[in-house]
Amino acid sequence: MMKQCNSLEEVRKEVDNIDEELVKLIAKRTHYIRQAAAFKESVEEVKTGDRIDFILSRVRHRAIDLGVSPNMISELFEIMINEMVETEIAELKNRNKF
């Protein structure tokens, strides 16, 4: 449940706390993306368009449910996914799977 803030300072503190949690969650997601690379044998398996489309569709719908701009959410996720695809590819290269 979201609380009602009584000052700009309090709002900023809450936003800063959320930003901290977002960074932690992105780090956690990255950890699992690195693990996913261990189950893949090629770049083609990393860049699966169907999975990416599924994720983007799911987060767009969730954004709509929560009253957040689906365009903003999908853009954020596209950036994150693109970076994490590069992370997975680097993991594959480190294992000499090319």
Domains of the chain with bracketed CATH: 8-94 (1.20.59.10)
Scanning 4-96, the segments in alpha helix (DSSP H) are: 8-37, 43-46, 49-66, 70-94
Torsion of CA 59, 31, 52, 41, to 10 degrees: -160
On the CB side of 86, CA atoms within 13 Å amount to: 5
**pLDDT for residue 96:** 66
Query: Would you give per-residue pLDDT tens digits along the chain (98 residues)?
Result: 889 999 999 999 999 999 999 999 999 999 999 999 889 888 888 888 899 999 999 999 999 999 999 999 999 999 999 999 999 999 888 876 55
**pLDDT for residue 46:** 87
